[in-house]
Structure 1
Amino acid sequence: MTGLTPRAYGHFRRILLAGALLASAATAMAQAASPTGLWQTIDDKTGQPKAVVQIVEDSDGTLSGKVLNGLGSNDDPNRRCTACTDSRKDQLMKGMTIINGMKPDGDTWDGGEILDPENGKIYKCKMHLEDGGQKLVVRGYIGISLLGRSQTWIRQQ
């Protein structure tokens, strides 16, 4: 840079580096504050990994999630939702949207639905982040949140 002393140039470089580090940290914090991304689902009954779900923000600001692939005994790419009773009946589970309509509500996301492809039932859904955004607690319920069950999903890199 012309017109700067070596000392001033050194200060300028440190300020630019600090700004870049702050921008990087802000991006990481924004990701940690949002459930968007890839999640390994964990079966609440067996404790075993079941699938990888991708949660994205839709154009209307709500969140939805789709199955990218199954894990373990659920890894058959031709597996279908035979228990589903809506338009997803007999559709491939891989690529299927199982979460939709989730809206931010403070530190939680609520107001949407989640499909359990194992039994074909659709539940109201709410979710929140834990462990600095590395875990997502997903609760499916009928009526009120107390009448349901939760799974803790693990963020994938």
Structure 2
Amino acid sequence: MKKIAILLVFVFVSCLAFAQKADDAVGIWYNAQKDAKIEIFKKGSNYFGKIVWLQNPSEDGKPKKDTKNPSESLRNREIIGLEILNNFNATGKNVLENGTIYDPKSGKTYSCKITVETVNKLNVRGFIGVSLIGRTDVWTRVSK
């Protein structure tokens, strides 16, 4: 009976540690070029991210729009507030996977994997098909 109780406590503590690591991705991050800030947040059990700041938020005095979007009906959306990370779930103690990342500069959507390296560093890997064929950007947490 003691062994079962110890096992249950271990499983419970492991689950708490898992949630804390995945939740380290929640916050505001600079992209690799530091020309945008992306807020990662949690809705239910999934993770999402939206652009909350741009170094150059306007063109000709008007807010930047999603002009490269392949869907003509979405090209009038403003870049600030645009959700670019969608439907990630925690698959490891520091990994968010099975989501997508949208690149408004190209209008393309990629499969994506996010790895929390440290509390202040994310590896964001966009890819087509398998993770081996892709590119990794390093995002840094915005200081409060």
**Common topology (TM > 0.5):** yes
Name the % identity.
31
Partner residue in 1 for 2:78: 92
Structure 1 residue 127 corresponds to structure 2 residue 114 = yes
Structure 1, unaligned runs of 5 or more: 1-29, 44-48
Separation in 2, partners of 1:85, 1:135: 31
Instruction: Give the match's secondary structure for 1:42.
Output: coil
- Pair member with larger Rg: 1
**Are residues 1:103 and 2:85 paired?**
no
With over 3 angstroms needed to count, the CA separation of the structure-2 counterparts of 1:33 and 1:96, relative to structure 1, is closer
Q: Distance in 2 between matches of 1:136 and 1:129?
A: 5
Aligned to 1:70: 54
Q: What corresponds to 1:113 in structure 2? A: 100
**SS class of match (1:57):** strand
Q: Please tell me whether the aligned partners of residues 90 and 97 of structure 2 are also in contact (alpha carbons under 8 angstroms).
A: yes
Task: Report if the CA contact (8 A) 2:57-2:80 is conserved.
Answer: no
Q: Distance in 2 between matches of 1:111 and 1:42?
A: 21
* Matching residue of 1:27: none
CA RMSD in angstroms, aligned pairs only: 2.1
User: How far off its partner does 1:146 sit?
Assistant: 1.1
Q: Aligned letter for 1:58?
A: K
Is it true that 1:82 corresponds to 2:67 in the alignment?
yes
The runs of at least 4 aligned residues of structure 1 exceeding 4 Å deviation read none
Where do 5+ consecutive residues of structure 2 fail to align? 1-19
Asked if 1:40 corresponds to 2:30, the answer is yes
What is the total number of aligned residue pairs between the two structures?
121
Structure with more strand by fraction: 2
Structure 2: distance between partners of 1:111 and 1:118: 22
Shift of residue 33, structure 1, vs aligned partner: 5.2
Question: What TM-score do the two structures reach when normalised by structure 1?
Answer: 0.70
Equivalent AA in structure 1 for residue 123 of structure 2:
V
For residues 13-28 of structure 1, the aligned pairs below 5 Å read: none
| TM-score (normalizing by structure 2) | 0.76
